[in-house]
A and B are shown apart, each in its own frame.
Chain A
Amino acid sequence: MKVETRVLIILLALVSSLASDGRFLSAQSSQGTPRQPERLRFRIMTIEETAGQRNVISDSTVEGPPGTDFNISLQGERFKMSAQFFTDMTGRDSLKVRAKLDTRRFYGYSEQNLPLYEEDKQNQTLDLGFDESVVLLPFGRNGGDNRLKIEITPIVSEKKERLPSGKVRPLEIDILKPSPGGVIGIQAWKIPHRFVLEASLLEDGREVARGTAPYLIEEPQELILRPTEQASPQVVSNPLAVNLTINQYTRSRPADLATIDFDIYRINPQSGQREAIGLNWAGIGEIDSSMIYDLGKVYLKESGKKYELRFRIKLAEGEQAD
């Protein structure tokens, strides 16, 4: 190959690399899994709508890495609201937003002169694009001429995941316009959301059935324990399933903690129907360590064998303990 040809090829490669904004080198990785934004910002605006007029009462932003959660609280004399938002990226341009709304309204006084409250809880999951916003109406849709509205808008942030020093950039809450009297409060946090649950059925200490599944925090999910080769015919004909929720993730030492609650079902192999054998079981344990529950009183009691249920919760790939 002539020297002129080599120079021409190198120049062409350089030009194409510049034109592709540096994606030349990472083309393969970007094709395999679309790159997610490094930081997301949620703009939270509280608006009073009066006869079509919009009056911005408060304005703030929450910014953090994907998976940042936040809470909006409204604290009046007779009405309180806590709206928790768990956010997860589901694609390059889409988010899963799980909202937990708790409201408490003063109702009046009882005959004994005790205060009475009306409480309400709602859970809602929204698949959100970056061209969409979440609208929260604390006092409902039919507010007459006067309506209070909270708009939550996701925006891809230009900021990098890390600071120039190399440290992970912390969460940021910017109060652009504070609410009058501090009636509206905003908190934000970042905890792992994605986990892998390993469940095993132990017969006299031997694993006879197992199951593994990815889990998302605060999202109940069923996991079926499949009998292993060592399983006895009794276990094979009485397979188990657990409906489990990882409720909470707590930063702790020496290891972080996960709080779970679950129901245990025996599956009818013929019909596939679930028969509850244990309801409202719960526990808390360290990440990546075993949580063992005795099934002696609820599963194959007459067999004379000791049955135990063992859980191990691990962080999913990409999640960081602290």
Chain B
Amino acid sequence: MDCHFTEKISLLIDDELTEEEAKEATAHLSDCVACQRAHDDFLRLRGEINSYAVASDFVAQRRALRRILGAEKPPLWRRSIRLPVPACALLLVALISLGVWLAFVRQSMPVSKEAEMKPQKVLTRPAPAQDLLDLARFDRGERAAIYKVRRANQGDIEQ
């Protein structure tokens, strides 16, 4: 909508122009293609809003309006974010600093240390199976037994 008359077209549809202004707008409308398109769009929009007007609930009306207007949202790749210049500059400085620091750390790290780091990754794996006590190797299906022994001899003198 790049014609300065478009707003008046909207007012014309809403019947809010004086008689003189209305005549002028109608004359312009017959010549201007942009305003004709805008006129059609306004009429379609009004028609859609009227079709949702059945719901008396204010919240429902708002929701319906949002749905209608939502259809006109630009696609994601055409949207933009507004960011204040200082914040943008700060973000940029932070990113550059991070990049420089990473490059510095990589260069200063000796090769041997990198090699040392590899086994540490291995340590984070679950404990190997042989660390668990395998009770099955003691089990021959016998009944448990309990008895006392004299401690001085440590030789299990059963009593």
- A residues whose Cβ falls under 8 Å from a Cβ of B: 48, 57, 74, 76-79, 81, 83, 99, 101, 103, 105, 120, 122, 124, 126, 128, 131-144, 146-148, 153, 179-181, 183-184
The 8 tightest CB contacts between A and B, nearest first, are A140-B142, A76-B135, A181-B132, A148-B138, A183-B133, A139-B138, A137-B145, A180-B133
> Which B residues between 101 and 159 are near A, CB-CB below 8 angstroms?
127, 131-152, 156, 159
Give A134 to B145 CA distance when docked, in angstroms: 11
Q: Give chain A nearest CB distance to B127 CB in angstroms.
A: 8
Give A35 to B149 CA distance when docked, in angstroms: 25
Which chain A residues border B142 with CB–CB below 8 Å? 139-143
Which chain B residues border A78 with CB–CB below 8 Å? 135-136, 139
When the two chains form their complex, are residues A79 and B139 in contact, meaning their CB atoms are under 8 A apart? yes
When the two chains form their complex, are residues B156 and A135 in contact, meaning their CB atoms are under 8 A apart? yes
Q: A83-B146, A132-B148 are in contact. List 19 more A-B contacts (CB 8 A).
A: A57-B133, A76-B133, A76-B134, A78-B139, A83-B144, A105-B139, A122-B143, A126-B146, A136-B146, A137-B144, A139-B139, A141-B142, A141-B145, A142-B142, A144-B140, A146-B137, A146-B138, A179-B133, A184-B133
Q: Can you show 22 pairs from A to B with CB atoms below 8 A apart? A: A48-B138, A76-B139, A81-B144, A83-B144, A99-B146, A124-B146, A132-B151, A134-B146, A135-B148, A135-B156, A137-B144, A137-B146, A140-B144, A140-B145, A141-B145, A142-B140, A142-B142, A146-B137, A181-B127, A181-B133, A183-B132, A183-B135
> Which B residues between 53 and 110 are near A, CB-CB below 8 angstroms?
none
Give A188 to B148 CA distance when docked, in angstroms: 21
- The chain B residue sitting closest to A48, CB to CB, is B138
Which chain A residues border B133 with CB–CB below 8 Å? 57, 76, 179-181, 183-184
Which chain A residues border B148 with CB–CB below 8 Å? 126, 128, 132-135
Q: Give chain A nearest CB distance to B152 CB in angstroms.
A: 6
Q: Give chain B nearest CB distance to A229 CB in angstroms.
A: 48
Which chain B residues border A131 with CB–CB below 8 Å? 150-152
Give A128 to B144 CA distance when docked, in angstroms: 20
Which chain B residues border A143 with CB–CB below 8 Å? 138, 140, 142
Give A148 to B137 CA distance when docked, in angstroms: 9
Give A264 to B156 CA distance when docked, in angstroms: 43
- The chain B residue sitting closest to A123, CB to CB, is B146
Q: Give chain A nearest CB distance to B137 CB in angstroms.
A: 6
Q: Give chain B nearest CB distance to A263 CB in angstroms.
A: 27
Q: A79 is contacted by which of B132, B135, B147, B149 (Cβ under 8 Å)?
A: B135
- With A132-B151, A133-B149 as contacts: A103 and B144 at CB distance below 8 Å: yes
Which chain B residues border A124 with CB–CB below 8 Å? 146
Q: Give chain B nearest CB distance to A48 CB in angstroms.
A: 8
Which chain B residues border A126 with CB–CB below 8 Å? 146-148
Which chain A residues border B139 with CB–CB below 8 Å? 76, 78-79, 105, 139
Q: Give chain A nearest CB distance to B91 CB in angstroms.
A: 49
Give A132 to B155 CA distance when docked, in angstroms: 11
Which chain B residues border A146 with CB–CB below 8 Å? 137-138
When the two chains form their complex, are residues B152 and A138 in contact, meaning their CB atoms are under 8 A apart? no
